[in-house]
Structure 1
Amino acid sequence: MTNSLQRLQALGQSVWFDNIRRGFIRSGELQRLVDLGVSGLTSNPSIFEKAITESSDYDWALLDLALAGNSATEIFESLAVEDIRDAADLLLPVYERTAGADGFASIEVSPLLANDTEGTVAEAQRLHATLQRPNVMIKVPATPAGIPAIRQLISDGINVNVTLIFSLDAYAEVREAYVSGLEELELAGGDPSHVSSVASFFVSRIDASVDGKLDQLIDSGIRELEGLMGKAAIANAKMAYRDFAQTFSNDRFAALATAGARVQRPLWASTSTKNPEYSDVLYVDELIGPNSVNTLPDVTLHAFLEHGQPENNHRP
């Protein structure tokens, strides 16, 4: 009997796990989730901060690195790289079984580089060279400085998880950076089939912002706006999915696809509900579609395993 994650896979959507911790990898818990249907992992500095400060998993490694004279930045990167490498190794069978379509572990460049194109490219290239795993994605934010970095990294043949996408305008720039990067890679004699990318569209934070403004208007007496609560984020994501389908079905991308290029799948991130009045799987149920990814934190993942019904919410 299949579970809800496996049924999502059958509908064309991959589920990644939005969390990481050393003990979680080494205890076999991550492998258990992979066996249930999880096919990738995402991380960020906040997730690592929680893992390091709220567990004893890193205590001895921290001490050794500190006594060796490493800076705080060097210590963090050393810990993060080891965890991501271990996660990538665990996910490698998924990567191989899916011919490179899934099985990725993502690590983010420093947030301090969000406005530094050259610094972002250099750090992403260094992380790529340090990790030396085919199934690692480097997370780069969709900031004005991040967009040209994404194009450069794709043209270098580096897998990129584009993060912090909120608007359709920013998403258009992300898709253009990906396609242009692939064209440059092919022109230079590279193989587009060896590059993968996802575009991480943040969901629940849109509702958190819009709902707050709606609350103010409703409190002022405009009661008819109540029906719009909890709708903006899903509508925004669905329009993004429409744009994704248009970009990757046009003649320009078709030429790249002939050379083996993969579509840049939309990835729904920030999918835990912030409003307790909403379903705890709202941003999973409403965003099911082929050629997409949903990265879920612990609570949302286990909630969907428990009572997710993907067949009832599939949007082809």
Structure 2
Amino acid sequence: MNPLVDIRRLDQSLWLDFISRKVLQNGELKRRIDEDALRGVTSNPAIFEKAIGGSADYDDTIKAQAEQGKSADDIYMGLAVADVQAACDLFKELYDSHDNSSDGYVSLEVSPRLAHDTAGTTAEARQLWQAVSRPNVMIKVPATLEGLPAIRTLISEGVNINVTLIFGLDRYKAVTEAFIAGLEDRVKAGKSLARIDSVASFFLSRIDVLIDPQLDKIVAAGGDKAKLAEPLIGEVAIASAKVAYQLYKEIFAGARWQALADKGANTQRLLWASTGNKNPKYDDLKYVEGLIGPKTVDTVPVETMDIFKERGKPADTLEQGLDQAQAVLRDLPKVGIDLDAQTAQLEKEGVQKFIEPFGKLIDSVEKKRAAAVDGAKQTA
């Protein structure tokens, strides 16, 4: 019995939050697809920074491209596109299957430096879509206010979008509106809705990392608020996800959605992101086992996937304890915590946490590029 395979019975898809040239070339990614029912891959600047900057696997390619006069940014783009193309090709059989369930995708992110630039995000997303040139690539666009109109435009153009950095319920609703409006724009233009897919990536563990210490302080202070706050510790992220799923069921129903579904539209599935546990007090599978349900995706780090394979217990948990989840969100303001303000902070921090590794990534490529150019001059 393999829990990674068993979870498919519950109509949830596991995607791997990792990519590197090494796992593409040594057969590890293919093995996970064949043996562990892996159904997609996501990447981000931190993942590429670790893969490219933290290994020598790309050095020969960087050297060759440096000698061709390419910039660090162009070299990075070429490396990332090549890896994503190779991963897309490994998932092509799944993507082409009649029961792919909107899986078989590999995600590549627009530069985080463009998170507050609608036009820049739209232009780079188009560039990446064309550069990868695979039907099963998803371009990651942040759910910032500036990202929303880009999402609508790109969906209307038939670009598959992974909407990233969603932390709050109001922003999630705005993301679904951008997606649906984009499909409607496409219909008005007389274009097909077939094989257009999108996921809404709701980030989880970072919510608890931010809010738990605040709840701990309230509990330590004692009093009535302490009694109300204690049961909320470690529950806000899971509660947010469970309520988001109820919104998903409401939004992708009714006459407006049915008109699009009749033309072949697929729903924008919720994807649980930031699922690696960051608190040693919690179980490593907290953000996996607690959110298993139909028409959802869970993107997990390598370590979490391996732990789930070893001892995971697949069960339909996503709609269990819904009353409790709603109570958690109702009680937060009663203890003085404004969840909207917290999620706004998380979005700001989230953008920065991608900008920093992206900067390190470009710096590391630049150092290797410069070294290659200097070496070429010395041997000339």
Is TM (by shorter chain) over 0.5?
A: yes
Aligned-residue offset at 1:194: 2.2
Distance change >3 Å, CA 101–CA 205, structure 1 → 2 = same
Q: 2: CA distance between counterparts of 1:233 and 1:298?
A: 21
Which of these residues, 218, 243, 246, is aligned with residue 247 of structure 2? 243
Aligned-residue offset at 1:67: 2.2
Name the counterpart of 1:55. 55
Q: How far does the alpha carbon of each residue in 1:268-309 deviate from its partner, in whole angstroms, 9 at most, with x for none? A: 000011111101000011101100000000111111111110
SS in 1 for 2:185: helix
Name the counterpart of 1:296. 300
Structure 2 unaligned spans of 5+: 321-380
Aligned-residue offset at 1:314: 5.9
Q: 2: CA distance between counterparts of 1:242 and 1:100?
A: 20
Name the counterpart of 1:23. 22
Q: 2: CA distance between counterparts of 1:130 and 1:53?
A: 22
Is 1:103 the equivalent of 2:104? Answer: yes
Name the counterpart of 1:14. 13
Aligned-residue offset at 1:226: 2.7
Q: How far does the alpha carbon of each residue in 1:19-47 deviate from its partner, in whole angstroms, 9 at most, with x for none? A: 00101111000011111111000000110
Distance change >3 Å, CA 99–CA 309, structure 1 → 2 = closer
Aligned-residue offset at 1:221: 2.9
Q: 2: CA distance between counterparts of 1:312 and 1:218?
A: 32
SS in 2 for 1:311: coil
Please say if residues 162 and 198 of structure 2, whose CA atoms lie closer than 8 Å, have aligned partners that are also in contact.
Answer: yes
Please say if residues 100 and 135 of structure 1, whose CA atoms lie closer than 8 Å, have aligned partners that are also in contact.
Answer: no
Aligned-residue offset at 1:218: 2.3
SS in 1 for 2:41: strand
Which of these residues, 218, 233, 237, is aligned with residue 237 of structure 2? 233
Higher relative contact order (CA 8 A, sep 6+): 2
Give the TM-score of the pair, scaled to structure 1. 0.97
Give the ranges of 4+ consecutive aligned residues of structure 1 lying more than 2 Å apart after TM superposition. Answer: 218-227, 311-316
Name the counterpart of 2:283. 279
SS in 2 for 1:192: coil
Is 1:34 the equivalent of 2:38? Answer: no
Name the counterpart of 2:211. 210
Q: 2: CA distance between counterparts of 1:221 and 1:68?
A: 66
Aligned-residue offset at 1:12: 0.7
Greater alpha carbon shift after TM alignment, 183-192 vs 40-49:
183-192
Larger Rg: 2
Distance change >3 Å, CA 306–CA 312, structure 1 → 2 = farther
Is 1:117 the equivalent of 2:121? Answer: no
| Matched ranges for 1:190-205 at <5 A | 190-205=191-206
Q: How far does the alpha carbon of each residue in 1:102-128 deviate from its partner, in whole angstroms, 9 at most, with x for none? A: 100000000111111111111111111
Q: How far does the alpha carbon of each residue in 1:222-254 deviate from its partner, in whole angstroms, 9 at most, with x for none? A: 553332211000000111111111000121001
Please say if residues 204 and 270 of structure 1, whose CA atoms lie closer than 8 Å, have aligned partners that are also in contact.
Answer: yes
Q: 1: CA distance between counterparts of 2:204 and 2:101?
A: 26
Q: 1: CA distance between counterparts of 2:134 and 2:279?
A: 38
Aligned-residue offset at 1:100: 6.5
Q: How many residues align?
A: 315
| Matched ranges for 1:254-265 at <5 A | 254-265=258-269
Please say if residues 289 and 315 of structure 2, whose CA atoms lie closer than 8 Å, have aligned partners that are also in contact.
Answer: no
| Matched ranges for 1:178-197 at <5 A | 178-197=179-198
Which amino acid letter does the alignment assign opposite residue 117 of structure 1?
T
SS in 2 for 1:65: helix
Please say if residues 114 and 120 of structure 1, whose CA atoms lie closer than 8 Å, have aligned partners that are also in contact.
Answer: yes
Which amino acid letter does the alignment assign opposite residue 236 of structure 1?
S
Please say if residues 41 and 105 of structure 2, whose CA atoms lie closer than 8 Å, have aligned partners that are also in contact.
Answer: yes
Please say if residues 14 and 299 of structure 2, whose CA atoms lie closer than 8 Å, have aligned partners that are also in contact.
Answer: yes
| Matched ranges for 1:66-77 at <5 A | 66-77=66-77
Aligned-residue offset at 1:153: 0.2
SS in 2 for 1:277: coil
Structure richer in helix, relative to its length: 2
Aligned-residue offset at 1:56: 1.6
Q: 2: CA distance between counterparts of 1:103 and 1:63?
A: 32
Aligned-residue offset at 1:312: 6.7
Please say if residues 128 and 158 of structure 1, whose CA atoms lie closer than 8 Å, have aligned partners that are also in contact.
Answer: yes
Give the TM-score of the pair, scaled to structure 2. 0.81
Q: 2: CA distance between counterparts of 1:115 and 1:11?
A: 37
Aligned-residue offset at 1:145: 0.7
Please say if residues 143 and 171 of structure 2, whose CA atoms lie closer than 8 Å, have aligned partners that are also in contact.
Answer: yes
Aligned-residue offset at 1:135: 0.2
SS in 2 for 1:253: helix
Please say if residues 293 and 316 of structure 2, whose CA atoms lie closer than 8 Å, have aligned partners that are also in contact.
Answer: no
Aligned-residue offset at 1:54: 2.0
